[in-house]
Amino acid sequence: MRQLFWISGLPETQKNFGVQTMRVYLDYNATTPVAPEVLDAMLPYFTHAYGNASSIHSPGQEARLAVENARESVASLIGAKPAEIVFTSGGTEADNLAIFGVAPGATGKRHVITSAIEHHAVLHACEKLQSDGVDVTFLPVGSEGIVDPEDVRRALRPETALISVMHANNELGTIQPIQEIGAIAREADIYFHTDAVQTAGKMPIDVNTLGVDLLSISAHKIYGPKGTGALFVKSGTRLEPILFGGHHERDRRPGTENVAGIVGMGRASAIAARSVIDTASRIAVLRDRLENSLLTAIPQCGVNGRRDMRTANTSNMTISFAEGESLVIALDLRGVACSTGAACSSGAVEPSHVLKAIGLSPEDGRSSVRFSLGRETSAAEIDFVIDVIPAAVDHLRELSPAWGKVLPVR
């Protein structure tokens, strides 16, 4: 049964006898819809082209060809060689394969350097290393949410096996100085991994320019299917498997290939590569328009992280005296989907580890929301969101005893 609800204060174009007629999705950092062209490419591999890519008969070789064509597309997206791409079940597995496959397994060294604002796929993997007796240095970040390369240099030890610093933060969008860190890693002859889940397909990437040995990406962040990802492994990098079975993926990741998912990731990569710069430029204009309008319309409101070094689609804002989870729910009822941070952390009582790392108070951390735009986001949708959010914030603030003690100035 379709749920009906009436939202006061919406323009007449958004009312239809109590039914909300516009839905705006601003949580593209959590996931993206599968592009129609991607779905079309995948469908045959669920039906008549169902061969196992490891089989030597014709159906198997048809599947193998599809996998290798996809490998070429994924490699091209990041400036890699096809043989350097290992398909995985997603970004989390790619991160884990990089971390456990190199440190300390392939090196024998027992120290790892990472940052305090990594995705949990990296943080929890490093915490597991700690429990196994590996020393881990968690580098701090300042209020801008960016790692200082000199902190990386100062953390180096003779026993350092791996540096893992994400390319862009999933909550703030802040882009890390990967090229500078890569130079430090090369100088010290230490493996360097970056989680590029939030940048691949959103900005130009060349693994050789970045100077990384390992790089993780995920299909469902670039309009591909969930459950498929890849790890770039630079030629010559010693990588031990973390799963055991057959000889798939050149003995780096056993298991029957998810042919349909891999094909979808390949097609999504090819689509992203065609328009990454133009799409990012258009989205950045819409993101800034949203952000600046809210800063003007809502008192006690600010942007988290450095604004000039971010992915084009991401805005993380603290709206004081409006609890983040409540605001997300209120906006959802008004037709706007956003988040308080990483999707895998939603529902957590404590503020995000990222927001704590940049120095936000617990109160401000719990009053922060993330808006992440996508290539389907339109100017009309942003105008709708700009119109809806201030009223939702005002309503929540009226319910806050703390807000009653503050004299807002508009």
Q: Could you read off the pLDDT of 69-114 as tens digits, one per residue?
A: 999 999 999 999 999 999 999 999 999 999 999 999 889 999 999 9
314-351: pLDDT as tens digits: 999 999 999 999 999 999 999 999 999 654 544 456 78
Categorise residue 249: left if φ over 0, alpha if ψ from -120 to 50, beta otherwise: left
Element (H, E) at 214: strand 214-218
Catalytic hit among 126, 301, 338, 344: 344
pLDDT greater than 80 at residue 178: yes
pLDDT at position 8: 36
Contact 35, 268 (CB under 8 A): yes
Lowest mean pLDDT among 20-29, 35-44, 236-245: 20-29
Categorise residue 173: left if φ over 0, alpha if ψ from -120 to 50, beta otherwise: left
110-133: pLDDT as tens digits: 999 999 999 999 999 999 999 999
The DSSP letter of residue 175 is B
Q: Average pLDDT, whole number, for the chain?
A: 92
pLDDT band at 403 (very low <50, low <70, confident <90, very high): confident
Cβ neighbours, 10 Å, residue 220? 23
Contact 264, 67 (CB under 8 A): no
pLDDT at position 350: 76
The DSSP letter of residue 331 is H
pLDDT greater than 50 at residue 3: no
Tell me the angle at which helices 91-102 and 120-131 cross, rounded to the nearest 10 degrees: 30
**CA distance linking residue 51 with residue 256, whole number of Å:** 11
b/e map 101-129, b = 16+ CB within 10 Å: bbbbebbebbbbbbbbbbbebbbebbeeb
Same fold, 12-32+275-405 and 36-272: no
pLDDT greater than 90 at residue 400: no
pLDDT at position 349: 60
Q: Are strands 336-337 and 85-88 parallel, antiparallel or unpaired?
A: unpaired
pLDDT at position 15: 44
pLDDT greater than 60 at residue 20: no
- What are the domain boundaries of the chain? 12-32+275-405, 36-272
pLDDT at position 405: 67
pLDDT at position 13: 40
pLDDT greater than 50 at residue 236: yes
pLDDT greater than 60 at residue 168: yes
> Which residues contact residue 171 at a Cβ distance below 8 angstroms, ignoring those fewer than 6 apart?
29, 117, 316, 341, 342, 352, 354, 355, 370
**CA distance linking residue 235 with residue 207, whole number of Å:** 12
Class of domain 36-272: alpha beta
Q: Is 251 exposed, middle or buried (0-12, 13-18, 19+ CB in 10 A)?
A: exposed
pLDDT at position 10: 40
Question: Residue written as tokens 């493996």?
Answer: 191
pLDDT at position 351: 84
Q: Which overall architecture, per CATH, does domain 12-32+275-405 show?
A: Alpha-Beta Complex (3.90)
pLDDT greater than 70 at residue 41: yes
pLDDT band at 406 (very low <50, low <70, confident <90, very high): low
Q: Which two tokens stand for residue 106?
A: 């392939």
**CA distance linking residue 277 with residue 390, whole number of Å:** 32
pLDDT at position 401: 81
* Residue 129 exposure: Cα atoms within 13 Å on the Cβ side: 30
* Residue 159 exposure: Cα atoms within 13 Å on the Cβ side: 10
Residue 344 is a catalytic residue = yes
The SS3 assignment for 162 reads: strand
